[in-house]
Chains A and B, each alone.
Chain A
C-alpha cells in the first residue's frame, strides 16, 4: 500500500480497540446509498519506477527548446543551491507558520524576504507574498479602494502598457465588488500613455502603471505618477523585480513615489514550469499596512527577551475577521518565497545588476539582428529593458510555427494586443551570442523564403 504503513496486525489491533470488525464499519454514519463502487477514470497504480518512466517520456515530448518568449514569465539562470535548499523537507513539507516557536525557519526567511522586497521597490513594508503577479494586481486594486476613502467611484485607470491578462484577472476577481477598470489612451509611436489625451474628472481611485510595460517599453513613470496624484488617485506600480536592478524603484517615482507596488516574483529563482507555481509580491507605504492583504511577519521578543518572529496584524485576515477580512486569501506562496530569498541572497544587488545588464545587452543584440532583416522593424520607438515589440510585414503565427518546428520559440504573438502584425521578443542572460545568431538566422531564412504560406496556427 503506497505510503500507508499499516501491517495487517496493526489494523487488527486498532480495530479491536475501536470496537469495529472491519475498516468499512467506520463509515457507518454515511448513508449507504452514497457509498460508491469502483472508479473508472483512475488507472491502476504505478510504482515509482513506472511513473518515472512515464513522466520522463512526457517531459521529453515538451523538449527543451531555445526560448525567446517573455510576456510576463522569464527564463533566468537559477543557482543550484536555490532549489536544493528550498526542497529540503523542513521547508518543503512544513505548514503555515501558525505555531511560531516551531516555525522560526520559515518566519525568519519571510522577514528577510520582506526586507529584500522593500529594498528593491523602495517602499516601507511587504507582505509574505500572494499567488501570482496577475492576482496581486486584483488584491492591490481592492486594497487601493480600502485605502483611498476620499474617492468612491471604484474606478481604476490602467496605463496602456498594463498586461492585458492582468486586467482580465483583476476584473474577474475585483469586479464582483464593483471595481471597474479603464484604459488610459496610448500614443501610437511610443506605445506609452498619451499625455495629451489624459482624461479629466474621471475620479480614479487608483492609477496602475506597469514598468517595463507589457510590450516592453519604458513609461515616463515620474510624470504619470505625478498626474495620478494630482487626480486624487493612489498609484499602483507593477514592476519586474529584475528590472529594479537598473530602473528607478517605484517608491521613487515622481514627487511622492507610488503607494503600492506589486508584480510577478517568478524571475527571482522560480522555474517557468508552464505558468506556476509563481508568487505575487506586494509592498506599500507604511500608512497603508493595515489595508494590506495576506500574511505579514514581524519581529518581536520571547519570554526571555530574545528576538524571534511571528505572523502579525492577523486581525486583518479571514480566520479572525471572517466576512469582514481584507481578503479571503489564507496562503502565501511560501516555497516560492523561500526560493526567491535564497536567490536574492546568492545574487546580491551586484549580481542582479549583472543579470539585468546582461539581459538588456542580449536583447539589444537580438533586436539589432532581427531589425536588419527586411520586413522587420521596431513597433515602438524609445528605450526598453529586456523585451521589445517588433512589427512584421506578414502574419506572425505561421512564422512562430515554423520556428517551433526547429525548436526555437520565437517570441509572443503580439498581434491582438497591437492590432497589427507584431511580435514580442525577449533575450535574458541565459542566451549566448550563438543562440541569438541561431534565432536571427532562422528568422531571416523564413522571411526570405516567404513563410507567409507556412504552417497554420497551432499545428503540431
Chain B
C-alpha cells in the first residue's frame, strides 16, 4: 500500500485555493456547536492530486486491462457519454428546479423511456431505480402490489432458480416474500418438472435471467411463462444478461411482465469501482399503474411540447418513491448518449459481437483442453469453464487461475458463481474486445494450465506482481480495522 492521506498530512497544511474566505457572523448558539476537531486530511493540492492519482494506478480497469468478468458486462465506457452528461446545463441542474429550466434534461429522459420500451418490448418504463438490486426490488414490489390490488393476498412465494444472482432471493425477502428455489437440469435449462411442482396458488411470481447465469438461453421460456401465468403468477426478468440478446430478442416478447435493466452493463455507463449503477424497470400493461415515480411525461400546449414529471397524482397506485429525487439521473444521461451513438442498427450489433466473442473464446479454450460446463450448448454472451478436473489432478483451482491471470495483466473472470458449477470461471468478453485480445487471453490461460499440469507449478501464492500479495481475508474479518487511527 501507499501511505494513507492521513499519514501524508501535516498540521496547518491546506489546499488554500479551495476554501472560501472566512466570514465573521455566526448566529448559532454555542451549545449547538461542535467542540471537537475531526481528523480530516491536511495536505496541499499537489499532494492530494498525487496521492489519488497514485491510488488510481493501483486499480485494474477496462481502460487499462481486459476484464472478462462474467455477468458484469465490462465493456468500453465511451468518453463522450461522460463529457456530455457533465455539460454545465446538466451537471448544474438542481433536481427541484422548475421544468422551465429542465426541458433539455427531461426530453432526454422521456426519449430514453421510449427507446427502452422499444428495445425491451415493454409498455412502460420507470428510470428511477438506482441500481440493479433496486430495480429488482421495484419489480417484485410491483408484482406484490398487483396481487394485492386484486385481493389476492395469499400469493407470497417468489420462485428463483438455484443459479440466480444472490440479489434475487435477497430482494424477495426485502419485499416480504418467501423464496422457493428450483433446480437446474443437466442441460442448463430450468428443471421443468420441478417448476411444475413448485407453482401453485401461493405463487406471486418467478425471477428469471435469460440467458441464464449459466451462459445459455432458456429454450422453453414460452412454456415456463405459460405455466407460471396459468398458475396466476407473474414473470420477472432480471436484465443482468440483456447484453446477450439486445436488439435480437425482447423480454416483452418472452411474456415477461416486468424487467429491470442494468444500464451500467448493457448501456455501458461506468461501473465506477462499484457504482453508481442504474436499474430502470419496464412493465407490461398489467403493471403500468404500479410503476415507481417519478416518470417523465409529455404534453402538447399552445407553446409547443412540454416535458413534465408524472408522480402520485397521475399514478396513485404507484409503489412509491425509491430515491430522494429521480434516481441516478446523470447515469441515465450517459445511457441516453450511448444508445443514440449506437443507433437502431447498433443495438443488435452489440449482442451479435458479444455472442461471437464469447463463442469464439469458448471454442478456443475448449480446444486448448479446458472443460466447458455446458459443452453441448451454444454460449450466449458468456460461458463457464469448470476446473474440477485440474483441481483434482494438477491442484489448480478457479481461485488459483484467477490470481495467476492478474500476474499476466488480465482481470480475473467471475469465480465460484454460479454456485452449482464446481471450480467455475464465468467468462464474458463483451463486444468491445478485439480478436487479438481474446487470442492473447487464451495463450495466457494455456500457459497457466500447462505450468500447473506439466511443470507442477502451484499458484497458491499468486499474484506476485500486484501492489499487494494475496490478502488475509480471515484476519480482515476477525481483527476489524475499518478506520485509520494514528498509532
Q: Mark B21-44, 1 if CB is under 8 A from A, else 0.
A: 111111111011111111111110
Query: Using a Cβ–Cβ cut-off of 8 Å, how many residues does chain A contribute to the interface with B?
Result: 205
| Chain B interface residue count, Cβ-Cβ cutoff 8 angstroms | 206
Apart from A3-B75, A351-B15, what 11 extra A-B contacts exist at CB < 8 Å?
Answer: A34-B222, A51-B337, A112-B5, A168-B321, A272-B94, A297-B482, A318-B169, A321-B170, A322-B170, A328-B137, A330-B167
Give Cα A87 to B270, complex, Å: 10
Given contacts A23-B352, A24-B352, contact A43 B118 (CB under 8 A): no
Bound state CA distance, A5 and B353, in angstroms? 10
Residues of A within 8 A of B345 (CB): 44-45
Contact with B along A173-203 (1 / 0, CB 8 A): 1001110000000000000000000000000
Q: Which residue of A lies closest to B130 (CB)?
A: A131
Which A residues touch B170, using CB under 8 A?
318, 321-323, 325, 327-328
Contact of A2 with B341 in the complex, beta carbons under 8 Å: yes
Given A47-B341, A276-B276, A333-B276: A101 and B469 within 8 A (CB)?
yes
**How far does the alpha carbon of A221 sit from the alpha carbon of B268 in the complex, in Å?**
44
Tell whether B100 is near chain A: CB-to-CB under 8 Å: yes
- Is A344 a contact partner of B270 (Cβ separation < 8 A)? no
Report the bound CA distance from A51 to B131 in whole Å: 26
Nearest residue (CB) in B for A59 is: B89
A325-351 CB contact bits vs B (8 Å, 1 = yes)?
Answer: 101111111111010011011111111
Which residues, 69 to 124 on A, are CB-close (under 8 Å) to B? 69, 71-73, 75, 77, 79, 81, 83, 85, 87-97, 99-106, 108-109, 111-112, 114-116, 118-120, 122, 124
Once bound together, how far apart are the Cα atoms of A384 and B24, in whole Å? Answer: 16
Residue contact A131 to B323, C-beta cutoff 8 Å: yes
Shortest Cβ distance from B19 into chain A, in angstroms? 4
CA gap between A116 and B39 in the complex, in Å = 7
Segment 347-400 of A: residues with Cβ below 8 Å from B:
347-352, 354-355, 357-358, 360-361, 364, 383-385, 400
Contact in complex: B326, A93 (CB < 8 Å):
no
Residue pairs across A and B with Cβ atoms less than 8 A apart, 25 shown, are A4-B350, A4-B431, A13-B435, A23-B353, A41-B118, A52-B83, A61-B104, A62-B103, A72-B324, A81-B48, A94-B62, A178-B176, A247-B33, A249-B36, A277-B276, A300-B472, A300-B475, A300-B481, A303-B461, A328-B136, A332-B274, A342-B52, A345-B48, A354-B19, A400-B98
Residues of chain A contacted by B469 (CB below 8 angstroms):
101, 302-304, 306, 308
A306 to B132, CA, bound (A): 36
Q: How far is the CA of A246 from the CA of B353 in the complex (A)?
A: 55
Cβ-based interface call for A404 (8 A) = yes
Contact B59 A103 (CB under 8 A): yes
Contacts of B76 in A (CB 8 A): 3, 93
Q: Is the CB of B98 within 8 A of A404?
A: yes
A333 — which chain B residues lie within 8 A by C-beta? 272, 275-276
Beta-carbon contact of A45 and B342 below 8 Å: yes
Residue B237 at the chain A interface, CB threshold 8 Å: no
Q: How far is the CB of A374 from chain B (nearest CB, A)?
A: 23
Minimum CB–CB distance from B278 to chain A (whole Å) comes to 8
CB–CB B477/A312 < 8 A: yes
Within 8 Å by CB of B271, from A96, A169, A252, lies A96
- Given A334-B272, A349-B37, the answer on whether A298 and B477 have CB atoms closer than 8 Å is yes
User: How many residue pairs, one in A and one in B, have C-beta atoms under 8 Å apart?
Assistant: 702
B35 close to A248 (CB less than 8 A):
yes
Cα–Cα distance between A346 and B17 once the two chains are bound (Å): 9
B43 touches A88 (CB 8 A): no
Q: Tell me which residues across on chain A come within 8 A of B59, comparing CB atoms.
A: 90-91, 94, 102-106
Q: Cβ of A383: which chain B residues have Cβ within 8 Å of it? A: 27-29, 32
Which residues of chain B are within 8 angstroms of A434 by Cβ–Cβ distance? none
Residues of B within 8 A of A38 (CB): 344
* Chain A residues within 8 Å of B171, by CB: 328
Q: Is the CB of B93 within 8 A of A122?
A: no
Q: Which of B64, B84, B272, B356 contacts A14 (CB 8 A)?
A: B356
The answer to whether A89 touches B39 (Cβ under 8 A) is no
Is B174 located at the chain interface by the 8 A CB criterion?
A: yes
Counting CB contacts under 8 A, is B20 at the interface?
yes
With a CB–CB cut-off of 8 A, which chain B residues contact A75? 92, 94
